[in-house]
Amino acid sequence: MEEGLLPVTGSFSLLDWILLAIIVPLATALRVVQRHYSRLRLVRRELGGGKPWVLRRVPASELSEQFRPDPKLGYVPQLTEVTLVCLGPQHVIGVTSDYEAWILAVLAKKAHVMFEFGTCTGRTAYLWARNSPPDARVHTLTLDPDQTHLYKSDAGDKSQDEADALQETLDKRYLYTGTNVEYKINQIYGDSKEFDDSPYVGQCDLIFIDGSHAQSYVESDSNKALRMLKPGGIIIWHDYRGPHRSTGVFHALNSLGSRLNLMHIEGTSFVAYAMGGAKPFSNCALARFSPPAAGAAQPHVTPDLIASWTRD
């Protein structure tokens, strides 16, 4: 090789080293800041970009007195102890968080008729069957994997919602399959818009709406659920995640929230409707639930409350 064509290597001047010592840490720091900033932007977007999320956010204790904590000890076992399959760090399709699953399981402790729109892995159906009284019945509706052509999008629905709904339509093997609580579960197949709700009207203590997240489906499932609900019963919707995620759920529920007293449960993507007030399944007179005054202290658990829930 000719002399002079060789690349210059190994001859860093002191200035080069100083520049390198400044640039490398600076670039690393910039990268870290950029990553944090992107994460903060994402969180802020999900929180509505500083705008309120429309539905009022309340602690779970407003949904049911079971979630009233003892001031020193927190949640009490008599009201909230359940059997739970933990999600942990696993990624499982269409799943509720551990806190959400726990809320659903606690609510099942005194529910006799439960209905779920959207079975997926059968996690909620299993937790309901496991934690409810022995004579309880869990009805869970899902698309048959061989009948995904029955899905009916409306003009305003997002194509991604249909893709997600079909992707979450799994083979007919569920978490409850083969367990000793399977006898409590009635697995129903079909498209929820076609589902005939008439046998369930006014029958259900607890309803979970977690089928297709397309707006037209959330609206249709909600209308059916409101007919199916028993006085004193509770409806929970999953995936109320602000104006940038699951927007079909967000818009459908915000609109429903102008007619009904809906609550967004703190620390979850749940929205809940308690027909008749905060004590579920009690056949109490139908009344619009009135929120506590701003700043009012949350009532705590009392021995009477524990007695009323542990009495058969």
Q: Which parts of this chain interact with ligand SAM (CB under 6 A)?
A: 94-96, 116, 118-121, 123-124, 141-143, 151, 165, 168-169, 191-192, 210-212, 217
Nearer to ligand SAM, 94 or 277 (CB): 94
Query: Looking at beta carbons only, is 110 or 224 nearer to ligand SAM?
Result: 224
- By the 8 A CB rule, do 180 and 186 touch? no
Q: Give the whole-angstrom CA distance, residue 138 versus residue 206.
A: 9
CB of 212 to ligand SAM, least distance (A): 3
Measured CA to CA, the distance from residue 195 to residue 189 in angstroms comes to: 9
Nearer to ligand SAM, 85 or 201 (CB): 85
Q: Which residue has the tokens 């399981």?
A: 105
Q: Which is nearer to ligand SAM, 116 or 197 (CB)?
A: 116
State the minimum distance, in angstroms, from the CB of residue 236 to ligand SAM.
Answer: 10
Residue closer to ligand SAM by CB (options 70, 144) is: 144
* Closest distance of CB 150 from ligand SAM, Å: 7
Q: Shortest distance, CB of residue 109 to ligand SAM, whole angstroms? A: 17
Nearest approach, Cβ of 152 to ligand SAM (angstroms)? 7
DSSP letters for 200-222: GTTTEEEEEE-S--SHHHHHHHH
β-sheet with 113-117: strand ranges across: 57-58, 263-265, 271-274, 229-237, 204-209, 113-117, 137-142, 185-189
| Residue corresponding to tokens 């729109």 | 117
Residue 142, number of CB atoms within 10 A of its CB: 24
- Tell me how far the alpha carbon of residue 299 is from its chain's centroid: 25
To ligand SAM, the closest distance from the beta carbon of 57 in angstroms equals 21
Q: Smaller CB distance to ligand SAM: residue 106 or 141?
A: 141
Q: Round to whole Å and give the CA distance between 117 and 219.
A: 12
Cα Rg of the chain (Å, integer) = 25
